[in-house]
């Protein structure tokens, strides 16, 4: 493994960092279960990664087990207990625990603890996951019911493929 080819070729550095204070409100609320902060999107990182803070109420909020074909996904627990599915078993992850899921890796998460929990979710490369999250929020807010085919189509548009566990 070596460093990739240079992407910045100027003779000196530039002022280009982006700061997001902790006081910024979440960018998205999904029903009463989840609040999502878009810390860094694929747009803001030139497609390198997407980093999201996921704050969960103490209500089970399970996206079903799934995998991605084009992106990896990583989870880092900040607070509380988050149930993470690693493709073979559920793990009750606590602050400081980390799970990396490469493309094709089956995974899921839920807050089954009955108490609030927070985690960071990292996608690489920086796919436009926020459009998926926003569509889920709209479905929850509107009460719209999708057929099995509708869910399959939604997931396929967002590189998400359901798996029965």
Q: Is the dihedral of CA 156, 110, 35, 19 positive or negative?
A: negative
Residue 162 has pLDDT above 70, yes or no: yes
Closest-CA residue to 51 (of 107, 117, 130, 112): 130
Residue 17 has pLDDT above 90, yes or no: yes
pLDDT band for position 59 (50/70/90)? Answer: confident
Average pLDDT over residues 120-126: 97
Q: Supply 151's token pair.
A: 């869910």
Residue 107 has pLDDT above 80, yes or no: yes
Residue 116 has pLDDT above 90, yes or no: yes
Letter string b/e over residues 65-86, b meaning 16 or more CB atoms within 10 A of that residue's CB: bbbbeebbbbbbbeebbbbbbb
pLDDT band for position 62 (50/70/90)? Answer: low
pLDDT band for position 60 (50/70/90)? Answer: confident
Domains of the chain with bracketed CATH: 33-162 (2.60.120.10)
Average pLDDT over residues 13-30: 95
pLDDT band for position 63 (50/70/90)? Answer: low
Which residues are CB-neighbours of 104 under 8 A, at least 6 positions away? 67, 68, 69
Which residues are CB-neighbours of 131 under 8 A, at least 6 positions away? 158
Average pLDDT over residues 119-143: 95
How many residues appear in the chain?
165
Residue 97 has pLDDT above 70, yes or no: yes
Are 75 and 63 in contact, with CB atoms under 8 Å apart?
no
Q: Supply 136's token pair.
A: 């889920």
Average pLDDT, the chain: 95
pLDDT of residue 18: 92
What pTM, to 2 d.p., does this model score?
A: 0.93
- Helix axes 148-157 and 129-142, enclosed angle (nearest 10): 150
């Amino acid at each position: 493994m070596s460093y990739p080819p240079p992407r910045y070729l100027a003779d000196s550095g530039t002022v280009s960092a982006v700061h997001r204070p902790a006081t910024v409100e979440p960018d998205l609320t999904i029903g009463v279960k989840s609040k999502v902060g878009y810390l860094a999107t694929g747009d803001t990182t030139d497609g390198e990664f997407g980093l999201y803070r996921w704050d969960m109420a103490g209500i089970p909020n399970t996206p079903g087990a799934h995998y991605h074909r084009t992106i990896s996904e990583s989870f880092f627990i900040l607070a509380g207990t988050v149930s993470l599915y690693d493709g073979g078993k559920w793990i009750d992850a606590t602050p400081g625990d980390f799970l990396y899921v490469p493309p094709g890796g089956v995974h899921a998460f839920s807050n089954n603890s009955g108490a609030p929990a927070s985690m960071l979710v990292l996608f690489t490369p920086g796919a436009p996951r926020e459009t998926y999250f926003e569509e889920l929020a709209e479905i929850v807010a509107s009460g719209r019911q999708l057929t099995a085919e509708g869910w399959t189509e939604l997931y396929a548009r967002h590189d998400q493929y359901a798996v029965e566990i």
